Amino acid sequence: MILIFSESLLTTGLGHLGRCTALAEILIEKGNKDVRIVLDTDESFPDWSYPCPIYKENWKDLDTLRNLIKKFLIENSKQSLVVYVDSYLASISIYEEIRKYSDELICIDDYYRIEYPIGSTILNPGYPGLFIDYDKSKYKIITGKDEVLLRKPFRETFEIPKRNIPFRKVMITLGGADPNLYSEAFLSILCNEFPDLEKHLVIGPGFSNEQQLVSLSDSKTFLYKNLSALEMRDLMLTMDFAITAGGQTTYELDRCGVPMVMIKTFENQSGNIQGFTEIGNAKSIEIPAEVVDFLKGY
């Protein structure tokens, strides 16, 4: 049995859920028949298509966690237990408790958040792990761009179209939440300075400013919510460039061949941006002076 513990909350975790969904898909494709996701979630839980059962439980509570694991072990007494944990919120005591029951613990990490249990595996799926000095005497380390967990539509074979030059369509995607209201700033600049440009803005479940975005929109602004992985991929493939947060979506855009302007919306995105710049041969593009002036303010 393989258990995947993660979170999807109004203000954090949408990227975790995306890559854990991808992880479940990949594990099942490799022949693992019993994969389950245990999710600490709230009303923002997205209505996606999931490849395995989802259990909505506050697994960061020790008593709840113990009861869950014991229940799963009783149901599958003859199976080994492999556990993945992808969390920005779980304490070391939660990881230690999971380690007691599991045959293998894989900690999905972006920035060496805590000292994980000795003997566990750290999976840093992407560029960030290449810049972190993990203690390899304590952990098995798996990292690099080849380890990125992409949802199935992004792993399929598809044709990457030619981009319009000059650009005609821009995608704005800033993750599940936008506490700094970058979406308003970018939409305002683009509508005022580039009225002929199509603006395609993805609204995450944690956005609190949807009505303001509607009021800022012009006739060439298109707003999207609750996109499936396939819908997201197909939208990306029609774009000429994107303005994006520096998280998981960067790898999806990269897979679709979309040029990006990356914005660090949270500190844990630094490794992604550094990796694309130093290893991924990111190319600079000339962007308007108004946008440059705006970015200097952040």
Distance from C-alpha of 115 to C-alpha of 212, rounded to nearest angstrom: 42
pLDDT in tens, 71-96: 998 887 767 899 999 999 999 999 99
Predicted local distance difference test score (pLDDT) of residue 6: 95
Distance CA 37, CA 46 (A): 14
Q: Is 7 in contact with 41 (CB distance < 8 Å)?
A: yes
Q: Say how far apart CA 218 and CA 284 lie, in whole Å.
A: 28
Q: Does the fold of domain 155-296 match that of domain 2-149?
A: yes
More confident position, 31 or 42: 31
The per-residue pLDDT for 43 is 74
Query: What average pLDDT is seen over the chain?
Result: 90
Model confidence at 66, in pLDDT bands (50, 70, 90)?
very high
Q: Average pLDDT for residues 124-131, to the nearest whole number?
A: 95
Question: Is CATH 3.40.50.2000 correct for 155-296?
Answer: yes
Mean pLDDT along residues 196-223: 95
**3-state SS assignment for residue 20:** helix
Q: What is the mean pLDDT of residues 126-133?
A: 95
Q: Which fold has domain 2-149?
A: Rossmann fold (3.40.50)
Q: Which SS3 state, helix, strand or coil, does residue 172 take?
A: strand
Decide: residue 151, CB within 10 A, 0-12 exposed, 13-18 middle, 19+ buried: buried
pTM of the model: 0.88
Domain ranges of the chain: 2-149, 155-296
pLDDT at residue 282 tops 90:
no
Residue 183's alpha-carbon distances to 72, 146, 187, 207, 266, in angstroms, are 42, 30, 6, 9, 15
> C-alpha 187: how far from its chain's center?
22
* pLDDT above 50 (res 56): yes
Query: Could you tell me the pLDDT band of residue 264, with boundaries at 50, 70 and 90?
Result: confident
What mean pLDDT comes out for the span 248-275?
Answer: 91
Q: In the structure, what pLDDT confidence band is assigned to residue 281 with cuts at 50, 70 and 90? A: low
CB atoms within 10 A of CB 200: 19
Query: What's the sign of the alpha-carbon dihedral 103, 1, 229, 215?
Result: negative
Residues in the chain: 298
β 2-8/82-86 pair status:
parallel
Confidence class of residue 44 from pLDDT cuts 50, 70 and 90?
A: confident
Lowest mean pLDDT segment, chosen from 36-40, 181-185, 230-234, 264-268:
264-268
Task: Report how far residue 49's alpha carbon sits from residue 46's, in angstroms, rounded to the nearest whole number.
Answer: 9
Please determine, for residue 68, whether its predicted confidence score (pLDDT) is greater than 70.
Answer: yes
pLDDT, residue 298, reads 42
Dump pLDDT digits (tens) for 130-182: 999 999 999 999 999 999 999 999 999 999 999 999 999 999 999 888 988 99
Specify the pLDDT at position 206. Answer: 86
Q: Quick check: 246 and 262 in contact, CB under 8 A?
A: yes
Element holding 152 (H helix, E strand): helix 152-155
Percent of the chain with pLDDT over 70: 93
Q: Can you read off the two tokens belonging to residue 166?
A: 């000059």
Examine the pLDDT at 286 and tell me if it is beyond 60.
Answer: no
Tokens 């493939």 sit at which residue?
Answer: 237
* Contact (Cβ atoms closer than 8 angstroms) between residue 108 and residue 86: yes
Question: Is 45 or 3 the better-scoring residue by pLDDT?
Answer: 3
pLDDT(239) > 80? yes
Share of the chain above pLDDT 90, in %: 73
- Look at strands 2-8 and 35-41 and give their pairing: parallel
Token reading at 143: 């990292």
Q: At what angle do helices 289-296 and 182-193 cross, to 10 degrees?
A: 160
pLDDT at res. 285: 47
- Given a cut of 80, whether residue 295 has pLDDT beyond it is no
Q: How far apart are alpha carbons 102 and 190 in whole angstroms? A: 51
The two tokens of residue 31 are 């022949």
Distance (Å, rounded) from C-alpha 17 to C-alpha 157?
A: 23
Confidence bin at 284 (pLDDT 50/70/90):
very low
Structure tokens at 151: 């949802």
